[in-house]
Chain A
Amino acid sequence: MISIQHISKKYKGADNYSVLDLDLHIAEREIFGLLGPNGAGKTTLISMLCALIKPTSGTFSIDGLTYKENKRKLKQLIGIVPQEYALYPSLTAFENLQYFGSMYGLKGKELHDKITNFLEHLGLGKFANKRIETFSGGMKRRVNLIASILHEPKVLFLDEPTVGVDVQSKNVIIQFLQELNAKGTTIIYTSHHLNEAENFCTKVAIIDHGKIIVEGEPAHLIHTNEGAHSLEDVFLSLTGKALRDHA
C-alpha cells in the first residue's frame, strides 16, 4: 500500500537530518505504529507522506500513486489527523465538519447524514451545534478525527490521536479506528503510548534519529528481545534512557 525508498529530510537551517535514508513498506489493511522518542522524526515522516513538506531526497508511493503525477487523486485517497487540532474554534462541530467534508466534494444530505452519524458514533451527538472553543481536549480530538475520515479514505494517517485525552475518550477513539480498519482502511499512526500500540497495532516500527531501528509485529519484537515483557521494555532497550531534547 505504501512504499518508501531512501527518503530523507533535512529542514532548512537544521544541522541534522530529521529523517535519514529511510525505507519502509506498509501492507494494505495494516495498523502500523510509528513509535519513537520526542524528535525521532515521526511527524516529519508522516508530513512527507501527506504532501505537507517536501522530502530532501528519496521517493515514495501510496497505492501506486505519487503526488507528482496524481496529487488530487492521492489527496482524495488519504486522510490525515494532525498532531495539533486543526479546526475553526469559533465554528460549531457540525460547521467545521461540513466545511472540511465539502472540501472533499461531499455535499447535501449525504454529507449531513455522515456528519450526524459519526458525531453520534463518537459520543458527540449532543454537541453538534456547540462551538469547538467550548470543547474539552478529548472532544476536540474526536472532531479532529471525524474531519479526516468523512470522505472514507483508504489510508489514514494519525499523528498522536490519543495524546491528552482521558481513558474513556481514548477507548472510543481506538475502538472507532479498529472498526475503520475492519472495513478496509489502512492505518498509520504515531504514539507515545506503548501499551496502546502493543494491543492496537498489527505492526510497529521503532524509529530514532530519523532511522528505523526495528520493525515487526509487537508480539514478535517482545519475544525476540531478551528479557523484554512489553513493548516498553523493547523500546527502552533500543533507544536508551537519556532525554531527547534538541532542536
Chain B
Amino acid sequence: MHKLWASTYKEFLLLIRDMGGVAILFVMPLVLIITITLIQDSTFQTVKDIKIPILIVDKDHGDVAKTMLEGLEDSNSFEVIEKQTEEEAKNLVSKGEYQLAVIIPEKLTEDLHQKISNNVDGIMAKVMGEEADSLPKPDVENKEVKLYFDPATQQSFKSSVKNGIDKMISKIETQSIYKAFQEQISDNPEEAIFETENFITFTEILPKIEGRDVLPNSVQHNVPAWTLFAIFFIIVPLSINMVKEKSQGTFVRLRTNPVSYATVLGGKTILYLLVCLIQFVLMLLVGVYVFPAMGLPALDVSGRLPLLFVVALFSGLAAIGLGLLLGTLAKTQEQSAPFGATFVVILAAVGGVWVPVFIMPKFMQVLSNISPMNWGLNAFYDVFLRQASLMDIVPEITLLFIFFILTTIIAIVYNEKKNAV
C-alpha cells in the first residue's frame, strides 16, 4: 500500500513539474468543447436565420415554376437568384460560388396539367360509367427537376434540400389533382370543395420532468460527447509518461526494485483518474457557467451530478486501461503519441461522437458496440437526456470496468512475458 501511494505521489510530482503539459491537459478540452458547441450552435442558427443563395433556371415559365419559386423563397432558408441558362448556373455551382442550382424543366406546367387531366378524365369516365374516351390522349413524359450541387456540399445539406424540394413538388401535384377534379365537378372554380392543406402534420413530444419540457439542445448533446473524447485523450499523455520511463532508464531501475508492475500501474491509474475527474468538473463548469455567458444554452446538470460522476469515473478507468496498455506496448514516443491520438479519434468516430450511431452503415453500427467510447456516451446520454437511474447505466459502466480490467491485465501479462527471467 505504501508503495502504491509513493508511486501515485511520484506521478503527481512528474505531472505538476510539467506545468505546460498540465495546462494543455486541462485547457485544450475546454477550448475544444467551446469551439465545437459554438460551431454547432451557429450552424443551427444559420439554417434558421441566414439565407443561402441558390440559383434557379426557369425553363417552364408556368404556374408550377412560379409556385416552386415562391415556395423556395417562403422557406426563408434560401435567397433565390434566377439565371437564364442551365449552362451558366451549372458553371457557377461547379466553381463553388453557389451551393446549389435548381433547373425547372421546359413545359413542366403544361405537361403536369396534361398528365393530371388525362388521369382525372379516366377516373371520371369510370365513375360515370361511361366508355373510356375514344379520343387518343397525348402521351406525357415524366419530368425531372435537376439539382446541381457544389461537390463540396455536405451530404446532410443535400438530403435536406432534396427532401424539401420533393415535398414541394408533391404538394404542387396534389393541389393540381384536386384542382382538376374540382373543374370537372363544379362549375365555379372559386368554390372550395377540397381542403388542400396537409391533413397530417406532426409535433415533437418531448420528455417532461415535473411538468416542464426537457429540451435537448446542442449543449446537452455536445458536452457529454466531447467530454468523453477529452477523457479518452488521457491515453496520449499517459502512454508518453510510460514510454519516457523506458527511455530515461528509470523503468530499468524499477524492474530491479522489489515492486510489482501492477503497483507501478496502480499509481498511474490513481493519478490519471484524478486528472480525468478534474477535467470532467472543468467541463461541467464551462457548460453550466461559461456557456450562458457566451449566449449558448446552459448545461443542465440538476439532480444528476452523482450519476454523471459515476459515468465519468468508469469512462476514465477505461481510457486509462487503454493508455496503460499502449504505454506498455510502445517502445518510443514516436509510436505511442501518433497512434494514441489517431486511435482516440477512431474510437470517437466509431463510438458516435461525431455522427450518431443510428445513421451509420450496419457494419459500423456493429463495430460501434465494441467502442468503449460508445458505452460511455450511451451512459452519459442515459443520464443527461433520458433521466436514467443508476440501475439503467449498470450495463454500460460494467462494460467500461471490464474493459479497464482486461486492458490492464493484458499490459501486466505482456510485461511479465517480455521481462521474464
Contact = CB atoms under 8 A, between A and B. Distances in A.
Interface of A: 48, 50-54, 67, 72, 75-76, 78, 80, 82, 84-91, 95, 98-100, 102-105, 107, 131, 147-148
A52 B253 CA distance: 9
B13 A103 contact: no
26 contacts: A50-B256, A51-B255, A51-B421, A52-B252, A52-B419, A76-B258, A78-B256, A80-B253, A82-B249, A85-B248, A86-B248, A86-B249, A86-B253, A87-B248, A88-B14, A89-B248, A90-B17, A90-B18, A91-B14, A95-B10, A95-B13, A98-B6, A102-B7, A103-B258, A104-B258, A107-B2
B420 interface: yes
A154 to B, nearest CB: 14
Contacts of B18: 90
B83 to A, nearest CB: 65
Nearest to B263: A103
A98 B7 CA distance: 10
B301 interface: no
Q: Which 10 A-B pairs have the closest CB atoms?
A: A102-B6, A86-B249, A86-B253, A90-B17, A103-B257, A75-B258, A51-B421, A84-B249, A99-B10, A103-B259
Contacts of A98: 6
Contacts of A88: 10, 14, 248, 250
B257 A86 contact: no
Size category, B interface: 20 to 34
A86 B6 CA distance: 17
Contacts of A147: 253
A100 B249 CA distance: 13
Contact of A51 (B2, B250, B256, B259): B256
Interface string B232-255: 000000000000000011101111
B13 A91 contact: yes
B2 A105 contact: yes
A75 B257 contact: yes
B3 interface: yes
A53 B254 contact: no
B420 A86 contact: no
B420 A54 contact: yes
A82 B254 CA distance: 11
Nearest to A47: B252
B14 A90 contact: yes
B250 A86 contact: yes
Contacts of A90: 13-14, 17-18
Nearest to A103: B257
Interface string B1-41: 01100110110011001100000000000000000000000
Contacts of B420: 54
Contacts of A131: 17
B3 A105 contact: yes
B253 A102 contact: no
B311 to A, nearest CB: 33
Nearest to B259: A103
Given A85-B249, A98-B6, A102-B3, A52 B255 contact: yes
A147 B259 CA distance: 15
Interface string B57-100: 00000000000000000000000000000000000000000000
A186 to B, nearest CB: 16
Looking at B14, B253, B259, B421, the one whose CB has the most chain A CB atoms below 10 A away is B253
A111 to B, nearest CB: 10
A5 to B, nearest CB: 16
A51 B248 CA distance: 19
A47 to B, nearest CB: 9
B6 A103 contact: yes
Given A75-B256, A82-B252, A100-B253, A54 B421 contact: yes
B317 to A, nearest CB: 24
A76 B254 CA distance: 12
Interface string B116-149: 0000000000000000000000000000000000
Nearest to A111: B6
A87 B245 CA distance: 9
Contacts of A48: 421
A91 B10 contact: yes
Interface in B402-421: 419-421
A72 B2 CA distance: 16
B249 A103 contact: no
A104 B6 CA distance: 11
Nearest to A95: B13
Contacts of A89: 248
B250 to A, nearest CB: 5
Contact of B253 (A51, A54, A82, A105): A82
Contacts of B257: 75, 100, 103-104
Nearest to B264: A103
A86 B17 contact: no
Nearest to A55: B421
Contacts of A52: 252, 255-256, 419, 421
Contacts of A80: 253, 256
Interface string B248-280: 111011111111000000000000000000000
Interface string B373-390: 000000000000000000
